[in-house]
Structure 1
Amino acid sequence: MDLFSEYGSAILTSFGLTLRLAVYSGIFALILGTVLAVFRVSPVPVLRFVGAAVVYTFRNTPLTLVMFFALFGLAYQLGFNPAPDDLYENNFRLAVLALGIYTSTFVCEVLRAGINTVPLGQAEAARAIGLTFTQNLTHVVLPQALRSVINPLASVLIAMTKNTTVAVTIGVVTATGVNEASGQMKTMMENESDQILLIFIIFAVGFMILTLPIGFVANWASKRFAVIR
């Protein structure tokens, strides 16, 4: 119990930072991933090329390298500082940017697969009644595609939540010096080497608490909003 009395507050703070990172990155990834998916199915060749280039580049690049590029390439070399007066918030926002862009490529491919499941006849019927490509996509295709890929999207978000551990590589910490979950676990293992198993169990359970609700909600939503063909 000494472990909890000494590190309890830091553990909660670290998971709070991890949750904040996951939520912001998830929202960004869903928005950008949807835009990329639209690019990938667009009738405009330039948009299809841009979408494919972004997806192939970031999906095949290790997340650690994307994180390093965000910090050393964007921030240090190009001077891109989202929060120039706050070092801790700046690193956090760079981590959100890197994790969001990386995850958006997987969101894009999941959505594109969902778009391909929509019967071609429905899109043709929409065009026949005079709907534009944008109207066809937003009113006919995307709603059905989203409903058919709820579980795969949840899997992407669960993987993204676990990938927040990579943020430790660019020093994502709170203003009080508390790392996100993986960094805090490393600190505790270094300081309490005789309780490594307990520390591992604590953080494993913590990540399960963060990710299990996503799966439960996705299973409910996929049944509730299933597309009946």
Structure 2
Amino acid sequence: MDIYDVLLRDFPFLLKGLGVAIVLLAALLAIGFVLGMCICLLQLYGPRTRLVQWPLVVYERVFRGIPIIIMLFIFFYGLAGIYDISAFAAAVLAMGLRSAAYQSQIFRSAFQSIPSGQMMASRAMGMSKAKAIRYILFPQAARHAIGPWTNEFSSQIKETSLAYVIGVVELTRQAHYIITSTQGNVLIVFAVVALLYFILNRAGNSALYAFERKLAVPGFEK
């Protein structure tokens, strides 16, 4: 059978693998966003004690300093002896916790770009620290963070392809199945896979850029 006929026949499996990659991406980014924001706020506005700050610094540096493929092996094979965890769940945890370390620094830079006088002015008006963060600082920091956050989005799209090493049947592993069944045709199959990743990346970035423009306040960025 011709390789193009095989690709046409098996293209739904590639789309299924792409769907798994998208779900994995959404899950890890959600974990990264929530945990990363918590780490950022604790680092900037939490207690300045070593008991609070040192674990946050250690967490951020460890998860940013270890290659993601090693983290995948640790979470899947390491946790397997303690808890019966699926390959997908291990990938979500490993990539989500690592993304949180990066996102925490994205949000931290965004909050630090806001003049410190705004917090003092908010407190002087009688607002609590939590309300000042929620209503005054966060809306501004969110606008500043979207640009750098698109880089994290693009990076995580590409890193989801590494989940195949622990058995997640996403786009890359589906491509391997097709290559095995056709006994070759590596270039053509992975060219299709590359095109699918590129389309997903461009679509996501375009949506984020549009969201950034929608939130922009005329003259504010300048």
- The answer to whether TM tops 0.5 is yes
| Equivalent residues of 2:150, 2:205 under 8 A apart | yes
One of 1, 6, 11 as aligned partner of 1:3 = 6
| Equivalent residues of 2:43, 2:56 under 8 A apart | yes
Counterpart residue identity of residue 175, structure 2: M
* 2:203 paired residue number: 213
One of 176, 185, 202 as aligned partner of 1:186 = 176
Report the Cα distance in structure 1 between the residues aligned to 2:114 and 2:56, rounded to whole angstroms. 20
* 2:61 paired residue number: 56
Measured at CA, do residues 204 and 148 of structure 1 come closer, stay the same or move farther in structure 2, by a change above 3 Å? same
Report the Cα distance in structure 2 between the residues aligned to 1:184 and 1:49, rounded to whole angstroms. 42
Segment drifting more, 115-124 vs 37-46: 37-46
Deviation at 1:135, TM superposition (A): 2.1
Counterparts of residues 73-112 of structure 1 (less than 5 Å):
73-76=78-81, 79-81=82-84, 90-112=86-108
* 1:162 paired residue number: 158
* 2:76 paired residue number: 71
One of 37, 42, 65 as aligned partner of 1:39 = 42
| Equivalent residues of 1:22, 1:164 under 8 A apart | yes
Counterpart residue identity of residue 72, structure 2: M
| Equivalent residues of 1:168, 1:180 under 8 A apart | yes
Counterpart residue identity of residue 79, structure 2: L
**Residue 225 (1) aligns with residue 221 (2):** no
Segment drifting more, 131-140 vs 108-117: 131-140
Count of aligned pairs: 214
* 1:142 paired residue number: 138
| Equivalent residues of 2:7, 2:189 under 8 A apart | no
One of 111, 120, 128 as aligned partner of 1:115 = 111
Deviation at 1:202, TM superposition (A): 0.6
In structure 1, list runs of 5 or more residues that go unmatched. Answer: 83-89, 173-178
Segment drifting more, 98-107 vs 138-147: 138-147
* 1:25 paired residue number: 28
Report the Cα distance in structure 1 between the residues aligned to 2:166 and 2:172, rounded to whole angstroms. 12
Report the Cα distance in structure 2 between the residues aligned to 1:81 and 1:47, rounded to whole angstroms. 31
Measured at CA, do residues 194 and 65 of structure 1 come closer, stay the same or move farther in structure 2, by a change above 3 Å? closer
**TM-score between both structures, scaled by the size of structure 1:** 0.87
In structure 2, list runs of 5 or more residues that go unmatched. Answer: none
Give the root-mean-square deviation of aligned CA atoms. Answer: 1.7
Deviation at 1:161, TM superposition (A): 1.3
Report the Cα distance in structure 2 between the residues aligned to 1:104 and 1:25, rounded to whole angstroms. 9
Instruction: For residue 130 of structure 1, give the secondary structure of its aligned residue in structure 2.
Output: coil
Report the Cα distance in structure 1 between the residues aligned to 2:34 and 2:119, rounded to whole angstroms. 23
Report the Cα distance in structure 1 between the residues aligned to 2:94 and 2:167, rounded to whole angstroms. 13
Instruction: For residue 166 of structure 1, give the secondary structure of its aligned residue in structure 2.
Output: helix
| Equivalent residues of 1:42, 1:48 under 8 A apart | no
One of 112, 127, 132 as aligned partner of 1:131 = 127
Deviation at 1:194, TM superposition (A): 4.5
